[in-house]
Amino acid sequence: MEKSNVSLYNPESFWKIDNVLLKGELHLAKVYLKLSDMMNYDQLQKFYSDEKRKGNPHPISIPDWRAIAEAGKENKDFMNFNQNISKQSPNFYTSIEYSPSESEDKIFHYEYSSEEQIIRGEFVGPDNRIKDIKDLKTLEALIGMNNSDSLNNLSNLINGTEMFLWRLNSKPEEKVKFVGELYADSVRLDLDAYGCPSGEHPALRVLIQKQ
């Protein structure tokens, strides 16, 4: 894994991360230093569609971010980069639909796109340290891994802290939708399944290709 030879002051500089395991295959990811403009979730979906069609870097899902960060975890500078972007509370192309008690919740990755993935289950529950989360299916659905030790190891490499999960704590009276975010401070790295869809945040810009 290496940084491109473009100057860090060039907005199109990027990290090149190889051996990213996605859907059982190895990929190369280019993670651009410059994040997107501030946008809400609807704008993020359009930005993804427009930029991917042009072959340009575009937003990614939380599981894809985790896989890329995992592949680059031996590089301290790349971990520092992830810490810095997490402090900006970036949006991801991941959303969570919480449903009333008679219906299943849904987690969407790349919603309404050709890459759409929908995972159904019961995703409400207490906010807690990742290591204390009992319903491992929620972690697997949201971040693509249910091994709390591995997730905390990654969190420590990025932020020097544990990872926490924030989500809706009980079933709503009607369907509600939130977006997936990360947020880092001096106490923890938050995996947030409770972000406001109308909130405006930047997003990572990434290109992914098979090796």
| Among 41, 51, 71, 79, CA closest to 180 | 41
Q: What six digits make up the tokens of 184?
A: 């880092």
C-alpha 211/C-alpha 204 separation (Å) is 21
Beta-bridge partner residues of 126: none
pLDDT in 10s for each residue of the chain, 211 residues = 444 433 455 667 999 999 999 999 999 999 999 999 999 999 999 999 999 999 999 999 999 999 999 999 999 999 999 999 999 999 999 999 999 988 999 999 999 999 999 999 999 999 999 999 999 999 999 999 999 999 999 999 999 999 999 999 999 999 999 999 999 999 999 999 999 999 999 999 999 999 8
Strand-pair category, 25-32 with 163-166 = unpaired
HSE toward the beta carbon, residue 80, CA cutoff 13 A: 3
SS3 state of residue 78: helix
Q: Which two tokens stand for residue 36?
A: 């997107």
Single pTM value for the model:
0.93
